[in-house]
A and B are shown apart, each in its own frame.
Chain A
Amino acid sequence: MPGVVDSALRRNVACPFCGLGCDDLTVAAGADGQLAVRAAGCDLSRQGFERRPLEATARIAGRAVERREAVAQAAAILAASRQPLIGGLATDVDGVRAAVGLAERIGGIVDHFGTDGLFRNLRVLQDSGWMTTTLGEVRNHMDCLLMVGPDPLATFPRFLELCVAPTQTLYDDGAKARRLFRLGPPGTGSGANTISELPCPLEQLPEAVSALRCLIADRRLQSTAIGGLPIERLREAAESLKAARYGVVVWAAAAFGFPGGDLMTQSLVDLVRDLNQGTRAAALPLTGSDNLLGANQVCTWQSGVPLRTSFAGGVPRHDSHLFAASRLLAAHEVDALVWISSFRAVAPPPSDVPTIALVATDTPFARPPEVVLPVGTPGVDHAGQIFRTDGVVAMPVAALRDSRLPSVADTLAEISKALDGGVRA
Protein backbone atom coordinates (compact mmCIF):
# COMPACT_ATOMS: atom_id res chain seq x y z
CA MET A 1 0.00 0.00 0.00
CA PRO A 2 1.37 3.42 -0.91
CA GLY A 3 2.76 5.45 1.97
CA VAL A 4 -0.07 7.86 2.58
CA VAL A 5 -0.19 10.03 5.65
CA ASP A 6 -3.67 9.72 7.03
CA SER A 7 -4.03 13.44 7.44
CA ALA A 8 -7.29 13.49 5.59
CA LEU A 9 -9.29 10.43 6.47
CA ARG A 10 -12.68 10.15 4.76
CA ARG A 11 -15.26 7.80 6.23
CA ASN A 12 -18.39 6.42 4.58
CA VAL A 13 -16.84 6.75 1.15
CA ALA A 14 -18.93 5.38 -1.72
CA CYS A 15 -17.01 3.19 -4.12
CA PRO A 16 -17.66 3.45 -7.89
CA PHE A 17 -15.61 0.41 -8.92
CA CYS A 18 -18.27 -2.31 -9.19
CA GLY A 19 -22.03 -2.61 -9.31
CA LEU A 20 -22.45 -3.19 -5.59
CA GLY A 21 -21.93 0.45 -4.68
CA CYS A 22 -20.53 -0.17 -1.20
CA ASP A 23 -20.53 3.12 0.68
CA ASP A 24 -18.82 2.30 3.97
CA LEU A 25 -15.17 2.63 2.96
CA THR A 26 -12.54 4.61 4.80
CA VAL A 27 -10.09 6.26 2.45
CA ALA A 28 -7.02 8.30 3.29
CA ALA A 29 -5.81 11.07 1.01
CA GLY A 30 -2.20 12.24 0.91
CA ALA A 31 -1.13 15.76 0.04
CA ASP A 32 -0.09 14.65 -3.44
CA GLY A 33 -3.57 13.29 -4.12
CA GLN A 34 -2.56 9.69 -3.55
CA LEU A 35 -5.40 7.73 -1.96
CA ALA A 36 -5.32 4.61 0.16
CA VAL A 37 -8.20 2.43 1.27
CA ARG A 38 -7.96 2.00 5.04
CA ALA A 39 -11.11 0.05 5.84
CA ALA A 40 -13.91 -1.93 4.18
CA GLY A 41 -11.98 -2.28 0.96
CA CYS A 42 -11.67 -5.11 -1.53
CA ASP A 43 -9.26 -5.83 -4.38
CA LEU A 44 -11.26 -3.80 -6.85
CA SER A 45 -11.66 -0.76 -4.65
CA ARG A 46 -7.98 -0.77 -3.74
CA GLN A 47 -7.00 -0.99 -7.39
CA GLY A 48 -9.40 1.80 -8.24
CA PHE A 49 -8.74 4.27 -5.45
CA GLU A 50 -5.02 3.66 -5.24
CA ARG A 51 -4.25 4.24 -8.91
CA ARG A 52 -1.49 6.81 -9.00
CA PRO A 53 -2.58 10.29 -10.07
CA LEU A 54 -0.54 10.66 -13.21
CA GLU A 55 0.13 13.60 -15.46
CA ALA A 56 -2.97 14.81 -17.25
CA THR A 57 -1.32 15.32 -20.59
CA ALA A 58 -3.50 15.64 -23.66
CA ARG A 59 -2.05 14.10 -26.79
CA ILE A 60 -2.51 14.13 -30.53
CA ALA A 61 -1.12 11.01 -32.17
CA GLY A 62 1.06 10.39 -29.14
CA ARG A 63 2.46 13.94 -29.06
CA ALA A 64 1.86 16.04 -25.92
CA VAL A 65 -0.26 19.10 -26.75
CA GLU A 66 -2.31 21.77 -25.02
CA ARG A 67 -5.71 20.47 -24.02
CA ARG A 68 -7.54 22.95 -26.24
CA GLU A 69 -5.58 21.73 -29.26
CA ALA A 70 -6.66 18.19 -28.54
CA VAL A 71 -10.25 19.33 -28.12
CA ALA A 72 -10.15 21.15 -31.46
CA GLN A 73 -8.68 18.09 -33.13
CA ALA A 74 -11.40 15.89 -31.59
CA ALA A 75 -14.06 18.24 -32.94
CA ALA A 76 -12.44 18.20 -36.36
CA ILE A 77 -12.48 14.40 -36.44
CA LEU A 78 -16.15 14.32 -35.46
CA ALA A 79 -17.11 17.04 -37.92
CA ALA A 80 -15.52 15.02 -40.73
CA SER A 81 -17.10 11.77 -39.62
CA ARG A 82 -20.16 10.36 -41.37
CA GLN A 83 -20.84 7.56 -38.90
CA PRO A 84 -19.27 8.15 -35.48
CA LEU A 85 -19.48 5.75 -32.55
CA ILE A 86 -19.42 6.78 -28.90
CA GLY A 87 -18.21 3.64 -27.18
CA GLY A 88 -16.79 2.53 -23.86
CA LEU A 89 -19.20 4.92 -22.16
CA ALA A 90 -17.82 4.08 -18.72
CA THR A 91 -18.66 7.32 -16.96
CA ASP A 92 -21.09 8.74 -14.42
CA VAL A 93 -24.67 9.86 -15.07
CA ASP A 94 -23.66 13.35 -16.19
CA GLY A 95 -21.01 11.93 -18.49
CA VAL A 96 -23.59 9.69 -20.15
CA ARG A 97 -26.01 12.61 -20.45
CA ALA A 98 -23.35 14.53 -22.34
CA ALA A 99 -22.44 11.51 -24.47
CA VAL A 100 -26.03 10.84 -25.54
CA GLY A 101 -26.48 14.54 -26.29
CA LEU A 102 -23.34 14.56 -28.42
CA ALA A 103 -24.37 11.36 -30.20
CA GLU A 104 -27.69 12.92 -31.10
CA ARG A 105 -26.00 16.04 -32.37
CA ILE A 106 -23.47 14.26 -34.60
CA GLY A 107 -25.79 11.45 -35.71
CA GLY A 108 -23.72 8.89 -33.86
CA ILE A 109 -24.22 5.54 -32.18
CA VAL A 110 -23.90 4.89 -28.42
CA ASP A 111 -22.77 1.68 -26.76
CA HIS A 112 -21.01 0.69 -23.52
CA PHE A 113 -18.21 -1.86 -23.36
CA GLY A 114 -20.20 -4.04 -20.96
CA THR A 115 -23.30 -4.52 -23.09
CA ASP A 116 -22.67 -8.12 -24.20
CA GLY A 117 -23.72 -9.21 -20.73
CA LEU A 118 -26.34 -6.48 -20.40
CA PHE A 119 -28.23 -7.61 -23.47
CA ARG A 120 -28.28 -11.22 -22.36
CA ASN A 121 -30.52 -9.84 -19.62
CA LEU A 122 -32.19 -6.97 -21.44
CA ARG A 123 -33.43 -9.04 -24.37
CA VAL A 124 -35.16 -11.34 -21.90
CA LEU A 125 -36.62 -8.38 -20.03
CA GLN A 126 -37.86 -6.86 -23.30
CA ASP A 127 -39.38 -10.13 -24.51
CA SER A 128 -40.87 -11.60 -21.36
CA GLY A 129 -40.32 -9.36 -18.37
CA TRP A 130 -39.02 -10.76 -15.06
CA MET A 131 -39.27 -10.75 -11.28
CA THR A 132 -36.29 -9.16 -9.62
CA THR A 133 -35.14 -7.78 -6.32
CA THR A 134 -32.55 -5.40 -4.88
CA LEU A 135 -29.49 -5.70 -2.65
CA GLY A 136 -31.38 -4.55 0.45
CA GLU A 137 -34.06 -7.21 0.00
CA VAL A 138 -31.47 -9.93 -0.50
CA ARG A 139 -29.59 -8.84 2.60
CA ASN A 140 -32.66 -8.91 4.81
CA HIS A 141 -35.23 -11.19 3.25
CA MET A 142 -33.44 -13.99 1.44
CA ASP A 143 -33.47 -17.42 3.09
CA CYS A 144 -32.27 -19.48 0.13
CA LEU A 145 -29.75 -18.40 -2.46
CA LEU A 146 -28.89 -20.00 -5.77
CA MET A 147 -25.90 -18.51 -7.59
CA VAL A 148 -25.57 -19.70 -11.17
CA GLY A 149 -22.36 -19.47 -13.17
CA PRO A 150 -18.73 -18.81 -12.31
CA ASP A 151 -18.05 -17.39 -8.88
CA PRO A 152 -19.35 -13.81 -8.91
CA LEU A 153 -17.01 -12.78 -6.10
CA ALA A 154 -14.16 -12.00 -8.46
CA THR A 155 -16.17 -9.19 -10.02
CA PHE A 156 -18.41 -8.37 -7.01
CA PRO A 157 -15.99 -8.99 -4.15
CA ARG A 158 -18.15 -8.01 -1.18
CA PHE A 159 -21.41 -9.57 -2.32
CA LEU A 160 -21.30 -12.28 0.36
CA GLU A 161 -20.43 -9.88 3.15
CA LEU A 162 -22.96 -7.27 2.08
CA CYS A 163 -25.94 -9.42 1.16
CA VAL A 164 -25.47 -13.09 1.94
CA ALA A 165 -23.92 -13.20 5.38
CA PRO A 166 -24.65 -9.91 7.12
CA THR A 167 -24.24 -9.83 10.87
CA GLN A 168 -27.83 -8.66 11.40
CA THR A 169 -31.00 -8.64 9.36
CA LEU A 170 -34.39 -7.00 9.82
CA TYR A 171 -35.97 -10.41 10.27
CA ASP A 172 -33.82 -11.82 13.04
CA ASP A 173 -34.21 -15.45 12.05
CA GLY A 174 -32.47 -14.52 8.79
CA ALA A 175 -28.80 -15.08 8.26
CA LYS A 176 -28.25 -18.32 10.14
CA ALA A 177 -31.01 -20.32 8.52
CA ARG A 178 -29.99 -19.47 4.98
CA ARG A 179 -29.43 -22.24 2.46
CA LEU A 180 -26.81 -21.29 -0.11
CA PHE A 181 -26.00 -23.01 -3.41
CA ARG A 182 -23.74 -22.29 -6.32
CA LEU A 183 -24.34 -24.09 -9.58
CA GLY A 184 -21.39 -23.55 -11.89
CA PRO A 185 -18.03 -24.58 -13.21
CA PRO A 186 -15.91 -26.34 -10.60
CA GLY A 187 -12.83 -24.75 -9.20
CA THR A 188 -14.15 -21.20 -9.27
CA GLY A 189 -16.09 -21.40 -6.03
CA SER A 190 -15.59 -18.82 -3.34
CA GLY A 191 -14.52 -21.52 -0.93
CA ALA A 192 -16.97 -20.32 1.67
CA ASN A 193 -17.94 -23.51 3.46
CA THR A 194 -21.51 -22.36 3.97
CA ILE A 195 -22.14 -22.62 0.23
CA SER A 196 -23.10 -25.97 -1.27
CA GLU A 197 -21.22 -26.28 -4.52
CA LEU A 198 -23.09 -27.89 -7.42
CA PRO A 199 -20.29 -28.35 -9.94
CA CYS A 200 -21.35 -28.23 -13.58
CA PRO A 201 -19.42 -27.18 -16.70
CA LEU A 202 -20.37 -23.75 -18.03
CA GLU A 203 -21.72 -25.01 -21.34
CA GLN A 204 -23.99 -27.49 -19.58
CA LEU A 205 -25.54 -24.93 -17.26
CA PRO A 206 -28.62 -24.43 -19.49
CA GLU A 207 -29.28 -28.15 -19.22
CA ALA A 208 -28.82 -28.12 -15.45
CA VAL A 209 -31.15 -25.15 -15.04
CA SER A 210 -33.78 -26.86 -17.21
CA ALA A 211 -33.48 -29.94 -15.01
CA LEU A 212 -33.88 -27.75 -11.95
CA ARG A 213 -37.08 -26.30 -13.39
CA CYS A 214 -38.40 -29.82 -13.99
CA LEU A 215 -37.60 -30.80 -10.43
CA ILE A 216 -39.35 -27.71 -9.10
CA ALA A 217 -42.40 -28.62 -11.20
CA ASP A 218 -42.26 -32.24 -9.87
CA ARG A 219 -41.64 -33.62 -13.32
CA ARG A 220 -39.79 -36.88 -13.82
CA LEU A 221 -36.30 -36.77 -15.26
CA GLN A 222 -34.71 -39.55 -17.31
CA SER A 223 -31.10 -38.61 -16.74
CA THR A 224 -29.38 -39.22 -13.43
CA ALA A 225 -26.57 -36.69 -13.86
CA ILE A 226 -25.74 -33.57 -15.88
CA GLY A 227 -22.12 -32.83 -16.64
CA GLY A 228 -21.17 -35.16 -13.83
CA LEU A 229 -23.50 -33.48 -11.35
CA PRO A 230 -25.92 -36.04 -9.86
CA ILE A 231 -29.57 -35.07 -10.23
CA GLU A 232 -30.01 -35.73 -6.53
CA ARG A 233 -27.78 -32.74 -5.78
CA LEU A 234 -29.99 -30.57 -8.00
CA ARG A 235 -33.05 -31.98 -6.28
CA GLU A 236 -31.69 -30.73 -2.98
CA ALA A 237 -31.46 -27.19 -4.40
CA ALA A 238 -34.94 -27.49 -5.94
CA GLU A 239 -36.48 -28.63 -2.69
CA SER A 240 -34.73 -25.87 -0.76
CA LEU A 241 -35.95 -23.18 -3.15
CA LYS A 242 -39.50 -24.51 -2.98
CA ALA A 243 -39.38 -24.66 0.80
CA ALA A 244 -37.83 -21.20 1.08
CA ARG A 245 -39.93 -18.18 1.98
CA TYR A 246 -37.87 -15.83 -0.16
CA GLY A 247 -35.52 -17.53 -2.58
CA VAL A 248 -33.09 -15.48 -4.62
CA VAL A 249 -31.45 -16.53 -7.87
CA VAL A 250 -28.27 -14.66 -8.74
CA TRP A 251 -26.28 -14.65 -11.95
CA ALA A 252 -23.82 -12.47 -13.79
CA ALA A 253 -24.82 -12.66 -17.45
CA ALA A 254 -21.42 -11.35 -18.49
CA ALA A 255 -20.20 -14.90 -17.77
CA PHE A 256 -22.74 -16.53 -20.10
CA GLY A 257 -20.54 -15.98 -23.14
CA PHE A 258 -21.58 -19.17 -24.86
CA PRO A 259 -24.02 -19.54 -27.77
CA GLY A 260 -27.55 -19.07 -26.49
CA GLY A 261 -26.42 -17.17 -23.41
CA ASP A 262 -29.64 -15.19 -23.31
CA LEU A 263 -31.66 -18.40 -23.31
CA MET A 264 -29.79 -19.18 -20.12
CA THR A 265 -31.08 -15.94 -18.63
CA GLN A 266 -34.56 -16.77 -19.89
CA SER A 267 -34.46 -20.14 -18.12
CA LEU A 268 -33.48 -18.49 -14.85
CA VAL A 269 -36.19 -15.86 -15.20
CA ASP A 270 -38.73 -18.62 -15.87
CA LEU A 271 -37.45 -20.61 -12.91
CA VAL A 272 -38.07 -17.65 -10.62
CA ARG A 273 -41.58 -17.25 -12.01
CA ASP A 274 -42.26 -20.94 -11.47
CA LEU A 275 -41.25 -20.64 -7.83
CA ASN A 276 -43.60 -17.71 -7.30
CA GLN A 277 -46.62 -19.85 -8.00
CA GLY A 278 -46.20 -21.31 -4.56
CA THR A 279 -43.83 -19.14 -2.59
CA ARG A 280 -41.83 -15.99 -3.10
CA ALA A 281 -38.63 -15.76 -5.04
CA ALA A 282 -36.84 -13.14 -7.06
CA ALA A 283 -33.85 -12.73 -9.34
CA LEU A 284 -30.83 -10.53 -8.84
CA PRO A 285 -28.75 -10.11 -11.97
CA LEU A 286 -25.28 -9.02 -10.88
CA THR A 287 -24.01 -6.38 -13.25
CA GLY A 288 -23.43 -2.67 -13.38
CA SER A 289 -19.66 -2.30 -13.13
CA ASP A 290 -18.34 0.81 -14.92
CA ASN A 291 -21.79 2.34 -14.41
CA LEU A 292 -23.18 0.08 -17.12
CA LEU A 293 -26.71 0.31 -15.73
CA GLY A 294 -26.45 4.06 -15.28
CA ALA A 295 -25.42 4.38 -18.92
CA ASN A 296 -28.41 2.31 -19.98
CA GLN A 297 -30.78 4.21 -17.67
CA VAL A 298 -29.74 7.60 -19.01
CA CYS A 299 -29.90 6.47 -22.63
CA THR A 300 -33.35 5.01 -22.00
CA TRP A 301 -34.84 8.06 -20.33
CA GLN A 302 -33.31 10.54 -22.79
CA SER A 303 -34.00 8.63 -26.01
CA GLY A 304 -36.74 6.19 -24.95
CA VAL A 305 -34.63 3.18 -25.97
CA PRO A 306 -31.63 1.33 -24.50
CA LEU A 307 -27.95 1.46 -25.41
CA ARG A 308 -26.84 0.26 -28.84
CA THR A 309 -28.84 3.05 -30.34
CA SER A 310 -28.14 5.10 -33.43
CA PHE A 311 -29.15 8.71 -33.90
CA ALA A 312 -28.07 8.68 -37.55
CA GLY A 313 -31.53 9.29 -38.95
CA GLY A 314 -32.35 12.09 -36.53
CA VAL A 315 -34.52 9.80 -34.41
CA PRO A 316 -33.23 7.22 -31.92
CA ARG A 317 -33.18 3.73 -33.41
CA HIS A 318 -32.25 0.80 -31.20
CA ASP A 319 -30.93 -2.52 -32.46
CA SER A 320 -28.98 -4.70 -30.06
CA HIS A 321 -27.22 -6.55 -32.87
CA LEU A 322 -26.73 -3.91 -35.54
CA PHE A 323 -25.45 -1.21 -33.20
CA ALA A 324 -23.10 -3.30 -31.06
CA ALA A 325 -19.80 -1.43 -30.88
CA SER A 326 -17.67 -4.53 -31.31
CA ARG A 327 -19.52 -5.50 -34.49
CA LEU A 328 -19.44 -1.96 -35.91
CA LEU A 329 -15.69 -1.69 -35.37
CA ALA A 330 -14.95 -5.15 -36.73
CA ALA A 331 -17.08 -4.50 -39.82
CA HIS A 332 -15.53 -1.04 -40.42
CA GLU A 333 -19.00 0.51 -40.32
CA VAL A 334 -17.91 3.55 -38.32
CA ASP A 335 -15.35 6.18 -39.26
CA ALA A 336 -14.72 7.79 -35.86
CA LEU A 337 -14.65 6.49 -32.32
CA VAL A 338 -15.07 8.43 -29.09
CA TRP A 339 -13.86 5.99 -26.45
CA ILE A 340 -14.77 6.67 -22.82
CA SER A 341 -13.35 4.82 -19.82
CA SER A 342 -13.14 6.94 -16.70
CA PHE A 343 -13.19 4.34 -13.88
CA ARG A 344 -10.21 2.27 -14.93
CA ALA A 345 -7.73 1.90 -17.71
CA VAL A 346 -9.58 0.15 -20.50
CA ALA A 347 -8.11 0.68 -23.95
CA PRO A 348 -10.32 0.86 -27.02
CA PRO A 349 -10.55 -2.38 -29.03
CA PRO A 350 -7.84 -2.56 -31.69
CA SER A 351 -8.98 -0.81 -34.88
CA ASP A 352 -7.73 1.70 -37.40
CA VAL A 353 -10.74 3.95 -36.85
CA PRO A 354 -9.74 7.53 -35.90
CA THR A 355 -10.10 7.49 -32.13
CA ILE A 356 -10.69 10.16 -29.51
CA ALA A 357 -9.93 8.61 -26.11
CA LEU A 358 -11.43 10.12 -22.95
CA VAL A 359 -9.72 7.83 -20.52
CA ALA A 360 -8.25 7.32 -17.09
CA THR A 361 -4.71 8.62 -17.07
CA ASP A 362 -2.80 5.34 -17.07
CA THR A 363 -4.50 3.68 -20.04
CA PRO A 364 -2.10 1.72 -22.26
CA PHE A 365 -2.84 1.80 -25.98
CA ALA A 366 -1.94 -0.71 -28.69
CA ARG A 367 -1.39 2.26 -30.99
CA PRO A 368 -1.49 5.96 -30.05
CA PRO A 369 -5.02 7.23 -30.61
CA GLU A 370 -5.51 10.29 -32.79
CA VAL A 371 -6.56 12.22 -29.68
CA VAL A 372 -6.15 11.45 -25.98
CA LEU A 373 -8.00 13.60 -23.43
CA PRO A 374 -7.30 12.31 -19.92
CA VAL A 375 -10.32 12.50 -17.64
CA GLY A 376 -10.91 12.20 -13.93
CA THR A 377 -12.59 9.30 -12.21
CA PRO A 378 -16.06 9.89 -10.71
CA GLY A 379 -15.87 9.28 -6.98
CA VAL A 380 -12.17 10.09 -6.94
CA ASP A 381 -11.51 13.28 -8.88
CA HIS A 382 -15.02 14.66 -9.03
CA ALA A 383 -18.49 14.01 -7.66
CA GLY A 384 -21.10 12.10 -9.63
CA GLN A 385 -23.89 9.55 -9.61
CA ILE A 386 -23.46 5.82 -10.28
CA PHE A 387 -26.22 3.21 -10.59
CA ARG A 388 -25.97 0.01 -8.60
CA THR A 389 -26.49 -3.51 -9.94
CA ASP A 390 -30.18 -3.49 -9.02
CA GLY A 391 -30.82 -0.44 -11.21
CA VAL A 392 -32.79 1.18 -8.38
CA VAL A 393 -30.24 2.91 -6.23
CA ALA A 394 -28.14 5.64 -7.78
CA MET A 395 -25.21 6.20 -5.45
CA PRO A 396 -23.73 9.67 -5.06
CA VAL A 397 -19.94 9.51 -5.23
CA ALA A 398 -17.72 12.30 -3.99
CA ALA A 399 -14.55 14.12 -5.03
CA LEU A 400 -11.81 12.83 -2.72
CA ARG A 401 -8.96 15.04 -3.85
CA ASP A 402 -8.20 18.27 -5.64
CA SER A 403 -7.75 17.23 -9.19
CA ARG A 404 -6.86 18.96 -12.40
CA LEU A 405 -8.56 16.22 -14.32
CA PRO A 406 -11.86 17.31 -15.85
CA SER A 407 -14.92 15.09 -15.94
CA VAL A 408 -16.18 13.34 -19.06
CA ALA A 409 -19.22 15.65 -19.03
CA ASP A 410 -17.02 18.76 -19.04
CA THR A 411 -14.73 17.35 -21.70
CA LEU A 412 -17.60 16.45 -24.01
CA ALA A 413 -19.06 19.91 -23.43
CA GLU A 414 -15.73 21.40 -24.58
CA ILE A 415 -15.81 19.27 -27.72
CA SER A 416 -19.40 20.25 -28.33
CA LYS A 417 -18.48 23.90 -27.98
CA ALA A 418 -15.64 23.46 -30.44
CA LEU A 419 -18.15 21.96 -32.87
CA ASP A 420 -20.33 25.05 -32.37
CA GLY A 421 -17.36 27.12 -33.40
CA GLY A 422 -17.57 25.50 -36.81
CA VAL A 423 -14.54 23.29 -36.90
CA ARG A 424 -13.38 22.68 -40.44
CA ALA A 425 -12.99 19.14 -41.55
Chain B
Amino acid sequence: MKKTALAFGILLISLLIVPVHGYPGEDYTKILVLHLNFSHDQVTEQSVEMQYGHPPNLGIESGDILGSLKTIDGKIIREFDLSDPRVQLGDAIVRNNGTNQSITGSAYYSDSADFTLVLPYYQNQMTLDLTDKNTGRLLKSVNFSQAIERFQREYPDDPGGIPVYQFMLEGSTPLYLVTGIGLSVLLLVVILMMSRKK
Protein backbone atom coordinates (compact mmCIF):
# COMPACT_ATOMS: atom_id res chain seq x y z
CA MET B 1 0.00 0.00 0.00
CA LYS B 2 2.89 2.26 0.74
CA LYS B 3 4.12 1.71 -2.79
CA THR B 4 0.70 2.69 -4.11
CA ALA B 5 0.69 5.86 -2.09
CA LEU B 6 4.22 6.63 -3.17
CA ALA B 7 3.40 6.09 -6.83
CA PHE B 8 0.32 8.28 -6.56
CA GLY B 9 2.35 10.92 -4.83
CA ILE B 10 4.99 10.84 -7.57
CA LEU B 11 2.27 11.10 -10.20
CA LEU B 12 0.68 14.09 -8.57
CA ILE B 13 3.99 15.83 -8.02
CA SER B 14 5.02 15.15 -11.61
CA LEU B 15 1.85 16.71 -12.88
CA LEU B 16 2.39 19.74 -10.72
CA ILE B 17 6.03 20.17 -11.60
CA VAL B 18 5.97 19.68 -15.36
CA PRO B 19 3.97 22.76 -16.33
CA VAL B 20 6.36 24.92 -14.34
CA HIS B 21 9.45 23.77 -16.19
CA GLY B 22 8.28 23.51 -19.82
CA TYR B 23 10.95 24.20 -22.42
CA PRO B 24 14.43 25.28 -21.41
CA GLY B 25 14.61 29.04 -21.36
CA GLU B 26 10.83 29.46 -21.53
CA ASP B 27 10.17 32.95 -20.25
CA TYR B 28 7.06 35.08 -20.13
CA THR B 29 8.37 37.95 -18.01
CA LYS B 30 6.95 41.21 -19.24
CA ILE B 31 7.82 44.86 -18.87
CA LEU B 32 6.40 48.23 -19.75
CA VAL B 33 8.71 50.68 -21.49
CA LEU B 34 7.67 54.30 -21.06
CA HIS B 35 9.26 57.11 -23.03
CA LEU B 36 8.43 60.37 -21.27
CA ASN B 37 9.44 64.00 -21.32
CA PHE B 38 9.78 66.30 -18.33
CA SER B 39 9.54 69.86 -19.50
CA HIS B 40 8.65 73.00 -17.56
CA ASP B 41 7.21 71.04 -14.62
CA GLN B 42 5.07 69.02 -16.95
CA VAL B 43 5.55 65.34 -17.70
CA THR B 44 4.22 64.21 -21.05
CA GLU B 45 3.91 60.75 -22.46
CA GLN B 46 5.69 59.97 -25.72
CA SER B 47 5.11 56.25 -25.94
CA VAL B 48 4.11 53.32 -23.79
CA GLU B 49 4.81 49.80 -24.95
CA MET B 50 4.56 46.42 -23.30
CA GLN B 51 7.12 43.80 -24.31
CA TYR B 52 8.78 40.67 -23.06
CA GLY B 53 11.82 41.36 -20.91
CA HIS B 54 13.15 41.80 -17.43
CA PRO B 55 13.05 45.12 -15.58
CA PRO B 56 15.77 46.84 -13.56
CA ASN B 57 15.57 46.99 -9.80
CA LEU B 58 13.07 49.48 -8.51
CA GLY B 59 12.91 51.15 -5.15
CA ILE B 60 16.60 51.86 -4.64
CA GLU B 61 16.93 55.07 -6.62
CA SER B 62 16.70 58.32 -4.64
CA GLY B 63 14.87 61.39 -5.82
CA ASP B 64 12.10 63.91 -5.52
CA ILE B 65 9.60 62.10 -7.71
CA LEU B 66 7.37 59.38 -6.33
CA GLY B 67 6.25 56.67 -8.72
CA SER B 68 3.14 54.73 -7.79
CA LEU B 69 2.09 51.66 -9.72
CA LYS B 70 -1.63 51.13 -9.29
CA THR B 71 -4.21 48.52 -10.16
CA ILE B 72 -7.23 49.19 -12.30
CA ASP B 73 -9.23 49.98 -9.15
CA GLY B 74 -6.61 52.38 -7.81
CA LYS B 75 -4.88 50.14 -5.28
CA ILE B 76 -1.18 50.78 -4.92
CA ILE B 77 0.94 47.84 -6.04
CA ARG B 78 4.23 49.42 -5.10
CA GLU B 79 5.92 52.78 -4.82
CA PHE B 80 9.42 53.92 -5.63
CA ASP B 81 11.47 57.10 -5.91
CA LEU B 82 12.89 58.58 -9.08
CA SER B 83 15.44 61.30 -9.51
CA ASP B 84 14.50 64.33 -11.55
CA PRO B 85 15.66 63.57 -15.11
CA ARG B 86 16.24 67.27 -15.71
CA VAL B 87 19.11 67.24 -13.22
CA GLN B 88 22.45 65.56 -13.94
CA LEU B 89 25.57 65.57 -11.80
CA GLY B 90 28.74 66.57 -13.58
CA ASP B 91 32.24 66.19 -12.13
CA ALA B 92 35.44 67.48 -13.61
CA ILE B 93 39.09 67.21 -12.76
CA VAL B 94 40.85 70.55 -12.77
CA ARG B 95 44.53 71.36 -12.51
CA ASN B 96 45.55 73.79 -9.78
CA ASN B 97 48.94 75.43 -9.51
CA GLY B 98 50.37 73.58 -12.45
CA THR B 99 50.30 69.98 -11.30
CA ASN B 100 47.84 69.54 -8.43
CA GLN B 101 44.49 68.12 -9.30
CA SER B 102 41.17 68.77 -7.65
CA ILE B 103 37.57 68.04 -8.42
CA THR B 104 34.91 70.50 -9.29
CA GLY B 105 31.49 70.02 -10.61
CA SER B 106 28.04 71.29 -11.01
CA ALA B 107 24.52 70.09 -11.31
CA TYR B 108 23.27 70.48 -14.85
CA TYR B 109 19.67 71.59 -15.01
CA SER B 110 17.70 71.31 -18.24
CA ASP B 111 14.36 72.85 -18.99
CA SER B 112 13.39 69.74 -20.86
CA ALA B 113 14.56 66.16 -20.61
CA ASP B 114 13.45 62.97 -22.29
CA PHE B 115 13.65 59.93 -20.08
CA THR B 116 12.78 56.27 -20.24
CA LEU B 117 11.25 54.19 -17.48
CA VAL B 118 11.29 50.42 -17.62
CA LEU B 119 8.76 48.96 -15.23
CA PRO B 120 7.85 45.42 -14.24
CA TYR B 121 4.40 44.23 -15.25
CA TYR B 122 2.17 43.07 -12.44
CA GLN B 123 -1.26 41.54 -12.44
CA ASN B 124 -3.97 44.13 -12.90
CA GLN B 125 -1.39 46.86 -13.26
CA MET B 126 -3.01 49.75 -15.03
CA THR B 127 -1.47 53.13 -14.19
CA LEU B 128 1.70 54.83 -13.05
CA ASP B 129 1.30 58.04 -11.12
CA LEU B 130 4.28 60.35 -10.93
CA THR B 131 4.07 62.82 -8.05
CA ASP B 132 6.34 65.65 -6.98
CA LYS B 133 7.23 64.63 -3.44
CA ASN B 134 7.94 68.20 -2.37
CA THR B 135 4.63 69.68 -3.46
CA GLY B 136 2.39 66.63 -3.68
CA ARG B 137 1.45 67.67 -7.20
CA LEU B 138 0.56 64.90 -9.63
CA LEU B 139 2.95 65.28 -12.53
CA LYS B 140 1.48 62.59 -14.73
CA SER B 141 -0.76 59.57 -14.61
CA VAL B 142 0.19 57.11 -17.32
CA ASN B 143 -2.48 54.61 -18.29
CA PHE B 144 -1.22 51.27 -19.56
CA SER B 145 -4.51 49.89 -20.85
CA GLN B 146 -3.85 50.47 -24.54
CA ALA B 147 -0.34 49.06 -24.36
CA ILE B 148 -1.62 46.00 -22.51
CA GLU B 149 -4.42 45.52 -25.01
CA ARG B 150 -2.00 45.72 -27.91
CA PHE B 151 0.22 43.17 -26.23
CA GLN B 152 -2.66 40.83 -25.53
CA ARG B 153 -3.84 41.08 -29.12
CA GLU B 154 -0.38 40.17 -30.33
CA TYR B 155 0.11 37.37 -27.82
CA PRO B 156 -3.39 36.04 -27.14
CA ASP B 157 -2.08 32.70 -25.83
CA ASP B 158 0.40 34.16 -23.37
CA PRO B 159 -0.27 32.02 -20.30
CA GLY B 160 -3.41 33.34 -18.73
CA GLY B 161 -2.45 36.94 -19.22
CA ILE B 162 -1.22 36.75 -15.65
CA PRO B 163 1.96 38.27 -14.33
CA VAL B 164 4.66 35.69 -14.73
CA TYR B 165 6.87 38.06 -12.83
CA GLN B 166 5.97 36.87 -9.35
CA PHE B 167 4.83 39.58 -7.07
CA MET B 168 2.26 40.08 -4.42
CA LEU B 169 -0.01 42.99 -3.88
CA GLU B 170 0.76 44.89 -0.73
CA GLY B 171 -0.91 43.28 2.25
CA SER B 172 -2.02 40.19 0.39
CA THR B 173 -0.71 36.66 0.46
CA PRO B 174 1.26 35.49 -2.54
CA LEU B 175 -0.85 33.37 -4.85
CA TYR B 176 1.85 30.80 -5.36
CA LEU B 177 2.14 30.33 -1.57
CA VAL B 178 -1.58 29.67 -1.20
CA THR B 179 -1.56 27.28 -4.13
CA GLY B 180 1.50 25.42 -2.89
CA ILE B 181 0.16 24.98 0.65
CA GLY B 182 -3.25 23.89 -0.62
CA LEU B 183 -1.82 21.26 -2.92
CA SER B 184 0.52 19.98 -0.23
CA VAL B 185 -2.35 19.55 2.20
CA LEU B 186 -4.40 17.78 -0.45
CA LEU B 187 -1.55 15.40 -1.18
CA LEU B 188 -1.04 14.68 2.50
CA VAL B 189 -4.74 13.92 2.99
CA VAL B 190 -4.78 11.54 0.03
CA ILE B 191 -1.72 9.66 1.29
CA LEU B 192 -3.15 9.41 4.82
CA MET B 193 -6.49 8.13 3.56
CA MET B 194 -4.85 5.48 1.42
CA SER B 195 -2.61 4.43 4.30
CA ARG B 196 -5.59 4.06 6.63
CA LYS B 197 -7.46 1.82 4.17
CA LYS B 198 -4.59 -0.56 4.36
Answer yes or no: are A and B bound together in one complex. no
Point out residues on B near A: beta carbons under 8 Å: none
